[in-house]
Homo-oligomer: A and B are copies of this chain.
Amino acid sequence: MGKEKPDLVYGTLDMLILKSLQHEPRHGLGIADRIQQISRDILRVEQGSLYPALYRLEAQGWIKAEWGVSDNNRKARYYKLTAAGRKQLVAETEHWSRITMGINRVLAST
């Protein structure tokens, strides 16, 4: 039945992660939960996408990890946004709005 389309638009995950770290550090699953919750269940982030993305972002110097303990008393890796990460978030957000404007122009064309 319903052939589900992917829940994420390819290439937006990095931006979403950076955004969800904007105000406070979070651990991996916490980030995924937040994205799902804020989007009101429209977006879901699979773990197989999440962790590679986190390494990517860390390797770029946009986030920084630190071991800590979660609310549930499990050890967890907390990520926080770096200064470069904030700049990157702005850049990606601008790129996103630019591209979506282009797409929406095409979709709106008669």
Question: Which A positions have Cβ atoms within 8 angstroms of B?
Answer: 5-12, 15-16, 19-20, 23, 35, 38-40, 42-43, 93, 95-96, 98-103, 105-107, 109-110
Contacts and interface: CB of A to CB of B under 8 A. Distances in A.
Identical chains in the assembly? 2
Contact of A9 (B20, B42, B93, B103): B103
Given A9-B9, A11-B9, A38 B99 contact: no
Given A23-B110, A38-B106, A40-B102, 13 more contacts: A5-B95, A8-B99, A9-B10, A9-B12, A9-B103, A10-B10, A16-B106, A19-B107, A39-B102, A39-B105, A39-B106, A42-B98, A42-B99
B106 A43 contact: yes
